[in-house]
Amino acid sequence: MTDLAAGFTRLYRVEPAFRASISDWRSEHPLMAGILEAQGRWFVSDPTLLDWYLEDSIGRMNTMFVDVPTADLESYRVSNSTERIGPRSVRSYSKDPDNEFFLPRELSDKRQEAAELETLRSNDQERER
């Protein structure tokens, strides 16, 4: 994993290692379009929070990260967001709006695969010492 540059905060997410394809007729449905637009854009700053998302996962999951300018971070925090996914607010989909971040697509698409989750936890604990 790359070093974190000054002025940036690293955010994390888990996502399936393999994605199923979605038929055109389904992806064009308004509800599915909203789901697809939101997919891959949810992150947390504390990698230990990823356990909750892993509980419901099926199959192999990858831990991903993206570095976000710290000055912009609060504008992406779900509790501060005014963005909508279809007719609903981003916040209405959130498990933990104070700890989740909903990134713009152009930023979330820069995510990279991170080290194993256990490694992230042990590194985080060492920084606290």
Query: Cα–Cα distance between 102 and 42 in angstroms, integer?
Result: 5
pLDDT tens-digit series, residues 55-100: 777 778 889 999 999 999 999 999 999 988 878 888 988 889 999 9
Residue type, 34: G
The pLDDT value given to residue 25: 55
CA distances from 114 to 15, 47, 66 (A): 11, 11, 9
Residue in the structure block whose two tokens are 């060492």: 126
Residue in the structure block whose two tokens are 């399936």: 16
The pLDDT value given to residue 55: 79
SS (H, E, C) 56-117: CCCCCEEEEEEEEEHHHHHHHEHHHCCCEECCEEHHHHCCCCCCEEECCHHHHCCCEECCCH
Domain spans of the chain? 18-128
pLDDT tens-digit series, residues 4-51: 999 999 999 988 776 666 556 555 655 555 566 677 899 999 999 888
Query: Cα–Cα distance between 55 and 82 in angstroms, integer?
Result: 28
Query: Cα–Cα distance between 13 and 62 in angstroms, integer?
Result: 8
Task: Extract the tokens encoding 46.
Answer: 């504390």
